[in-house]
């Protein structure tokens, strides 16, 4: 993970997409792509690091409620793009699941099932799919070397994770490499998980609640496998999904490779 993790002091899961080799033996150019959690608690030094890194687009996948609760720090010379993956209606339903203990009484596997449902929505619902189309529109605009797009959600794991899966798939990385990057979220967000569990233990949470919190605060192979299997079931394979659903024509794929690979 040392090649990917960025030295951000007050932010979660800030990683550059470098160091991987695709099927054509090409790698991602430096200073082009950052995936992360929110930018709401960055220090002044963190902000300067990202500005010096060359960030020109900051794409925020969070809902209005999340953004209002924790607005991003402003990056000089970077366009801020609010591009929520989930609709406000779905987000409101998610807010009502905050009382995890209550939900686990009805279903001990609540946390796991909730994340699976999120991945289901990302693949099959039009609002998330439109958000990812917009994501690729901006990726295609970001055509100057040493200028980066930073894209993020709250903790940079699910909405951001799927954005990265789609992007690395378009750039012809194999499934093993894609899953490796996806699962790097867990060591990159250990502090976040530990803080969630500490609060739970202080409130004498039961075993089912601890399990649900862990499922909600981490990524699992099951989640990404579910997404790949659903895409294969509904569309045949990932390239077909990218072209038919995310509008990534062969010409756009070729342009993405020219912009981001060397």
Q: What is the mean pLDDT of residues 81-94?
A: 74
Phi, psi at residue 129, to the nearest 5°?
-65, -35
Average pLDDT of the segment spanning 102-126: 86
pLDDT over 80 at 98, yes or no: no
54's CB contacts (< 8 A; 6+ apart) are 31, 146, 147, 148
Q: Structural domains in the chain?
A: 15-260 (3.90.190.10)
With 0-12 CB in 10 A as exposed, 13-18 as middle and 19+ as buried, what is 161?
buried
pLDDT at residue 95, rounded to an integer: 34
pLDDT for residue 206: 84
| Residue 97 confidence (pLDDT) | 38
Residue 2's pLDDT band (cuts 50, 70, 90): low
Name the band, by pLDDT with cuts 50, 70 and 90, for residue 1. Answer: low
Give buried/exposed letters for 30-44 (b at 16+ CB in 10 A, else e). bebbbbbbbbbebee
DSSP annotation of 72 reads P
Rg of the chain (C-alpha set): 18
Q: State the Cα–Cα distance between residues 68 and 86, nearest whole angstrom.
A: 15
218: nearest Cα among 118, 123, 115:
115
């Amino acid at each position: 993970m040392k090649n990917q993790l960025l030295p951000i002091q007050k932010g979660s899961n800030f990683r550059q997409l470098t160091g991987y080799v695709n099927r054509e033996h090409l790698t991602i150019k430096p200073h082009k792509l950052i995936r992360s959690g929110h930018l709401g608690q960055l220090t002044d030094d963190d902000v300067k690091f990202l500005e010096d890194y060359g960030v020109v687009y900051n794409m925020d996948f969070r809902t209005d409620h999340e953004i209002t609760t924790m607005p991003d720090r402003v990056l000089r010379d970077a366009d801020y793009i609010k591009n929520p993956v989930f609709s406000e209606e779905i987000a409101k339903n998610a807010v009502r699941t905050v009382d995890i203990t209550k939900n686990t009484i009805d279903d001990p596997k609540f946390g796991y099932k909730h994340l699976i449902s999120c991945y289901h929505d990302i693949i099959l619902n039009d609002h998330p799919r439109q958000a990812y189309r917009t994501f690729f529109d901006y990726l295609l605009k970001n055509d100057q070397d040493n200028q980066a797009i930073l894209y993020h959600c709250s903790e940079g794991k699910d909405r951001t994770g799927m954005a990265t899966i789609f992007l690395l798939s378009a750039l012809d990385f194999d499934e093993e490499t894609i899953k490796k990057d996806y699962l790097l979220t867990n060591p990159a967000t250990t502090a976040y998980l530990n803080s969630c569990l500490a609060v739970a233990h202080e409130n004498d949470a039961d075993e089912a609640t601890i399990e649900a919190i862990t499922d909600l605060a981490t990524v699992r192979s099951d989640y990404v496998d579910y997404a790949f299997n659903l895409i294969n079931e509904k569309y045949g394979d990932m390239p077909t999904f990218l072209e038919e659903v995310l509008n990534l024509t062969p010409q756009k794929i070729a342009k993405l490779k020219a912009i981001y690979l060397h």
